[in-house]
Amino acid sequence: MHITHSYLGTTKGRFRCVFFLLLEDYIEAQSRFGRDLDQALERFARRMGDSGVLVRPFTGDIETTRSHVLSKPWGRAELAEIGRTPGLLMIDVDFDAFDPRQHRWLYVHLGERPESTRSHAEEFAEMSTKLAQAVCDAETDVFDSVRAAIHDVRLPDVAKVFEAKPGVFGFSVDLIAGAALMHGLWLKLTKGRHVLTATVDQSGWAKCPHCRVRFSTKSRGSFDGRRHTTCGTYLNLVDEGA
């Protein structure tokens, strides 16, 4: 992990991609969240090894480095997304050369939903292993790999989604809401062909039509809101008698 006073002049070098951390101000950086996130970021950077690099600012340079990112020629909607912090901007070119209108980019917003009981740092700590593995997968396109890891879908599926968005160089995603957003778009493109229907009884139990295993729909370990986690099958749940 590189700690710097300026994002200007940062080069990609031998790395497949570069992640830039965006924060608002020193108060956020010094909060409990900031300290927890620091540990998760360090583990993430170490797991990427020589495949990717994480660049973050010194505490006193948070606003300066953020302004370096915001000064790029973003569209209005893109700028609104990039302005949401904390987050990670991923690119695969030197920073000074980066133009969001011409180069690929991905912005991972590390925010949380109001109803979530988990912190930003906990969510990122859980996701960081997947992200690092995706960056290290030299056999696949780094952007497709990272998008697939974030959205928890197969590489061929995520490729199909982005093929439907020609001319789009970048994509912003909420780390927590991202999987559901991608899944909804994917269902729209595939017309729901990959989703099976399972009936839920009055006790909240259902049988997966793919693997035939009964599970509690109330258990996050068995059903994540979209998939039966035992076999990975996407399910549309309907109440018994409906």
Residues 24-45: tens digit of each pLDDT: 775 454 456 667 778 888 888 9
Domains and CATH numbers, the chain: 2-190 (3.40.30), 195-239 (no CATH)
More confident residue, 106 or 119: 106
What is the overall mean pLDDT for the chain?
77
Dist CA 17 CA 49 (whole Å): 12
Q: How would residue 78 be classed by pLDDT, with cut points 50, 70 and 90?
A: confident
More confident residue, 153 or 123: 123
Lowest mean pLDDT among 72-81, 144-153, 220-229: 144-153
Q: In angstroms, what CA-CA distances link 193 with 189, 234, 239?
A: 9, 10, 21
Dist CA 172 CA 82 (whole Å): 8
Dist CA 54 CA 17 (whole Å): 9
